[in-house]
Homo-oligomer: A and B are copies of this chain.
Amino acid sequence: MSDKQPLSDHKVPQTEGKVCWQSPSNIAMIKYWGKRPVQIPINPSLSFVLDKSIVEITMVYTISPGDRFSLTSFTLNGAKNDAFSSRIEKFLGSLFSFFPFLEYTHIGIDSKSTFPHSAGIASSAAAFSALALCLCDIEAGLEGKEPSGDAFFRKASYIARLGSGSASRSVYNGMVVWGNTPLVADSSDDYAVRLADEQVHPLFSDICDSILIADSRTKKVSSSEGHALMHRHPFKEERIRQVSENMKSILAALKSGDFDHFGEIVENEALTLHGLMMSSRPGYILIHPNTILMLDKIRQFREETGTPAYFTLDAGPNIHLIYPHSFKAKVQDFMDDELARFCENGHRIDDSAGMGPVKMD
């Protein structure tokens, strides 16, 4: 993963092939907000991958020594997409030091998102992790290795991070930490790691996440712009300290199976994320009127029924309602009765912790 390694010998025969990976989105419980170059987070974050929110990337490649890298085609859900295409071309073109063969490879990409059309959910974590897995898969093939094992996924996480920070967390199932913290062995700013099974109570293995779509439109302020505003944020240093405390607490709750303590931290992180946006300069509000109405209903439902359902928010207006699988029926009834009317076209995605990326035949 160093950029010091020499390029491979160009005198290899022309090789063609195809790889295909599905990789999921993830939802952060401890939020990544603010970074240093190159995609180094100012604080550690913790998330789990989703089951249904997937991007599948099919990558055809022709390794042709003497040629120059090119992205020969790019489609998203069957259609050309110039904006994504140029972002991905630039990304691939930046990776020659990590994948020396890329410098003389022609790549064609077909991508499919299983995310509902215009759900307003960021697919970049799924997309960049799938891209990274495809590249690592091609490399493994060239080296006669299996596309699996710790080193394989670690490199995939590292490469995914360079495309989109949170994508680093999409290559593992279970609870995943990205960002160096003394609280998690082997944690790193460069790639994500998966918490060992004995660190996570079984209660969390089938945790549910229902995504309530308050507003699917493009955000007024992008996450990239938001991260940039953290650079000189007045509360930056104390935010970093707060994360240390929250990480410590959530790791304890994950281990002991204390869902309410877990949920309390999750909500604190969500509201803090949006509080940091509001206290940026300029400050801005990404929550939607219906977000507020739903958050009130969720807290009221929890207080009245004792149901352990807690919300989180990404850097946008949509709510992720997090609850143990055993409360699924009760929470879904509540959402049908009390929240559906605040969702855009009643739109909700009932997702849950997923199994992580899958190599497709």
Which residues of A come within 8 Å of B, CB atoms?
A: 234-239, 241-242, 245, 264, 267-268, 271-272, 274-279, 281-285, 287-290, 292-293, 295-296
Which chain B positions have C-beta within 8 A of A234?
238-239, 241-242, 245
Q: What are 25 inter-chain pairs, A to B, with CB distance below 8 A?
A: A234-B238, A234-B241, A234-B242, A235-B242, A237-B238, A242-B279, A267-B282, A267-B283, A268-B279, A268-B282, A271-B278, A271-B279, A271-B283, A271-B284, A274-B275, A274-B278, A275-B275, A275-B278, A275-B279, A285-B287, A285-B295, A285-B296, A288-B292, A289-B289, A289-B292
- Alpha-carbon gap, A234 to B243, bound state (A): 10
A-B pairs, top 7 by smallest CB distance, nearest first, are A289-B289, A271-B283, A275-B275, A275-B278, A275-B279, A234-B242, A272-B279
A293 touches B289 (CB 8 A): yes
Given A238-B237, A292-B292, A293-B289, A275–B283 Cβ distance below 8 Å? yes
- Alpha-carbon gap, A267 to B279, bound state (A): 10
Residue of B at shortest CB range from A241?
B234
Pick the contact of A272 from B267, B283, B285 — CB < 8 Å? B283
Q: How far is the CB of A217 from chain B (nearest CB, A)?
A: 12
Q: How far is the CB of A240 from chain B (nearest CB, A)?
A: 10
Which chain B positions have C-beta within 8 A of A268?
279, 281-283
Which chain B positions have C-beta within 8 A of A285?
271, 287, 292, 295-296
- Alpha-carbon gap, A268 to B293, bound state (A): 24
